[in-house]
Amino acid sequence: NTPDDHLSIAKLCHSLGNVYHAITNYKLALHYYSQSFQIQHERLPSNHTLLETLANKIYKLCVEETALSKFDQLDLMNKVYELLSKLWRPGNSKMIELRNDIEQLEDKLDILTIYWNVDKKKLHKLDLNENSSISNSACSGPTVILKAGAIPAPLNELLQSPNFEGITLIWYDPRLNTTEDTKQTAKELREINNYVIFHSDQLECIDFIKSIKDEKIFLVTSGKAASTLLPEIIELKQVDSIFIFCWKIEKYQDLLQRYESLVGIYTDR
């Protein structure tokens, strides 16, 4: 192939990247932009306008990809940083901003994985849907506090233990304790952390969230429940991270775009 042939391929990949960018498929957009960038970077001077234009498009992906889960977002940002480091120096303002964003997101996800005491792959696979239970309990069974009156017996049991972590985990689902599966899920969820609050009534759940002043709240809920609960609590600063577990991920995908604190929607076991 001649240099012109290679640049034609680069142009085609760039165009495909534009198509996927327009329909917000950021993974495929990055895939084709990357191919175009690699070809052009090998054949054009580093100060060429085509390279700079493409680099800015690739950088823009990290600003726009709000529809991705936080884990996918971090993966995308790292790939973009590695790619753009071939053209932009570490002191470049956009590289500095991107590096800072990556570090902040890494810190947040590190807190989550430490808190749940599972690695990121296992966190991806936690499932609180009514059709499956958590199968990744990784702790040795620390004490749990349940809010009195939150759900019926036997889950409605108060076990005295202080919340040393400064983080409160709330599981909200109107179906709590209505099936053997949700009972088993609740039992196994207790083994993951040392402070968990179960709620099946939305108004009680909102009131409890508002009563929390000094701790961060991690909220676990279903897609259907999130649709009505999140608009009521999203402005509360104590709500740090939200996880949705359901099978119909496409039905609730828009929630990822609307709520910054929503970490992701999970379906896999």
Q: Where are the domains of the chain?
A: 3-115, 118-266
Comparing 265 with 185, which gets the higher pLDDT? 265
d(CA 217, CA 242) in angstroms, rounded, equals 8
Helix, strand, coil in percent for the chain, rounding step 5: 50, 10, 40
**What CATH topology corresponds to 3-115?**
1.25.40
Q: What is the pLDDT of residues 236-247, one digit of tens each?
A: 989 988 888 777
Q: What is the pLDDT of residues 70-106, one digit of tens each?
A: 777 888 888 899 989 988 988 899 899 999 888 888 7
Start-end of H helices in the chain: 3-22, 26-43, 49-64, 70-84, 93-116, 120-125, 180-190, 202-211, 223-233, 254-258
User: Hey, what are 5's tokens?
Assistant: 């042939």
d(CA 251, CA 89) in angstroms, rounded, equals 41
CATH for 118-266 (3.30.70, 3.40.50, 2.40.128, 3.30.310): 3.40.50
Domains 3-115 and 118-266 belong to one CATH topology: no
Tell me the three state secondary structure of residue 157.
coil
Residue 165's pLDDT is 54
Would the pTM count as exceeding 0.95? no
